[in-house]
Amino acid sequence: MRLFETLIILLDLPLLAFALANHAWPVWMIVLAVLPVLMVLVHSFAERYRWQMVPAYIGSVLVAVFGLVSYVQHTPIRIGIVVAATVLLFVSSVLATILPVFSLPEPGGPHAIGTITQQWTARGELGRTDQSLPRKLNIQFWYPTETKRGRRSRYRTADAQGLKAHLRLARTHSIVNAPVSRAQRQFPVVLFSPGWKGHLTQNTIQFEMLASYGFIVLSMEHSPAENLPLYFDPSREENLRGYAVEIKRRAHDVLFVLDQLEKLNRQDPDARFTSLLDLSRIGMFGYSFGGALSAEACWLDPRIKAGINMDGLMFGEVTKTGVRQPFFFMSDDSGGPSECDLQSPDPRRQLHARALEADCKLIDRSLAQYGGYYLRIRGAAHSNYSDRPLYSPLKRLTDAGSIDVQTCIQIINAYIQAFFELHLNGKPQELLNGKHSDYPEALFRCHPVPIAENPTLATIA
């Protein structure tokens, strides 16, 4: 709970206890009874109200009303008001604790972080020349800056509605519209694609970490086709066909973004990124369906030099060929499908299991043919590869695995940073040798590039 939220509760409780013990309040107690209401007003301006605290707001009003009409002598009424207010305060305390305004971990790098958001419009579909079908892409950049002063970006904007509205109150470490650092002549660029109908900021932990270490990160929010299901469900044949089509549409978004970056590097209308993007060092990573897109984009465009799939089921042309670029497959701790699932009489369960089995074989085939990396984290679930485990300390609400949330974040960040440092910046990383790790929960494999697939070695031979 935040400071003023805690003060509201702490001010109300002794007043309620006093109300049970006395029939009439002295004047100074009546004045104190109004204080929680004033605290609610201060809280609404300083911290912004949120729905989890609404019961406490009502409880504070009840306390104030009780104080102003403390001549009420009827014991049942008195007890009823006190009990109602106490219950309301308790409900808010629980809700505010299990759905907190969370804090992001410290990024860890030497740079401060700037951020900007933009909306770009792509026209046409992949493989078509028709320019009448615009697709609007929400874009957000995170980048190194030299200033820590300014307005810190909110974690989510007005897109977070209903039960998720409180996510708009969480603050990041990123300064809005800060200038790009001039500590380097150019910075490597890393693209990100979110999960199925995911949002721009769902992996802000990794965005800020990378930006603090000198990478410019671009997250793109896609607009899925309206005929696709709201939730990702690979247990239906028609969904699997739809995902194969959707991966191509989103791949077109990536190509468009790469083209736009070239224009931005030549001449940024805002004079922010001009000549600062090193487009010879582009990487990409994605979560869930975005991880599948990362692999498909690597297959499609050699401008992307290295990629990461964070626990995403693969779709698209890359499933036939594997990934030639240095690629990192990350997985939760569920492992492959069980024989029970593969032989299940439930056709949907069996279809899902067979899709997972095909995915495991695809990963093994790609690693054997082109080399790369594979990571499985003991105790990690699918959502651990996003920010979602921070949304609540109750893992049942976030679908997080049994692993300690902060430990899992450290492991994921360490391997992502090491991967891009090696393959975009050319800095050797002991962590990727597979010989030593400070993380016993990390089951990591490094697959060397076969000689036949190494252009330098092939030339020498």
Instruction: Indicate the SS3 state at residue 312.
Output: coil
Q: What pLDDT score was predicted for residue 112?
A: 97
The reply to whether the predicted model has a pTM over 0.75 is yes
Q: What pLDDT score was predicted for residue 458?
A: 36
Q: What pLDDT score was predicted for residue 427?
A: 96
Q: What pLDDT score was predicted for residue 461?
A: 31
Quick one: 85 exposed, middle or buried, by C-beta within 10 A (0-12, 13-18, 19+)?
buried
In contact, 172 and 152? CB cutoff 8 Å: yes
Residue 426 region by backbone torsions, left for phi larger than 0, else alpha for psi between -120 and 50, else beta: left
Q: What pLDDT score was predicted for residue 225?
A: 60
Q: Which of 223, 205, 241 is CA-nearest to residue 134? A: 223
What are the chain's domains? 3-98 (no CATH), 112-460 (3.40.50.1820)
Residue recorded with tokens 């990573």: 285
Q: What pLDDT score was predicted for residue 127?
A: 42
Measured CA to CA, the distance from residue 155 to residue 2 in angstroms comes to 16
Q: What is the tens place of the pLDDT at every residue in 320-353?
A: 999 999 999 999 998 788 788 788 888 888 888 8
In contact, 111 and 144? CB cutoff 8 Å: yes
Residue recorded with tokens 């009003």: 61
Measured CA to CA, the distance from residue 411 to residue 248 in angstroms comes to 31
Q: What is the tens place of the pLDDT at every residue in 142-164?
A: 999 999 999 999 999 877 778 88
Measured CA to CA, the distance from residue 253 to residue 288 in angstroms comes to 17
Helix then strand then coil, in percent of the chain rounded to 5, is 45, 20, 35
Structure tokens at 160: 């977070």
Q: What pLDDT score was predicted for residue 159?
A: 76
Q: What pLDDT score was predicted for residue 460?
A: 29
In contact, 366 and 252? CB cutoff 8 Å: no
Half-sphere exposure of 8 (CA within 13 A, CB side): 34
Q: Let me know the angle formed at the C-alpha of 21 by 19 and 22, rounded to the nearest 5 degrees.
A: 70
Q: Residue 134 — φ and ψ, nearest 5°? A: -70, 145
Q: Which of 205, 222, 194 is CA-nearest to residue 155? A: 205
Count of beta carbons in the 10 Å neighbourhood of residue 196: 20
Which of the 8 DSSP states describes residue 51?
G
Q: What pLDDT score was predicted for residue 228?
A: 66
Quick one: 131 exposed, middle or buried, by C-beta within 10 A (0-12, 13-18, 19+)?
exposed
SS (H, E, C) 115-166: EEEEEEEEECCCCCCCCCCEEEEEEEEEEEECCCCCCEEECCCCCCCHHHHH
Spell out, as residue ranges, where the chain has pLDDT lower than 50.
Answer: 126-132, 455-461
Measured CA to CA, the distance from residue 253 to residue 192 in angstroms comes to 12
Kindly state the helix (H) or strand (E) to which residue 44 belongs, with its residue range: helix 27-46
Q: What pLDDT score was predicted for residue 129?
A: 40
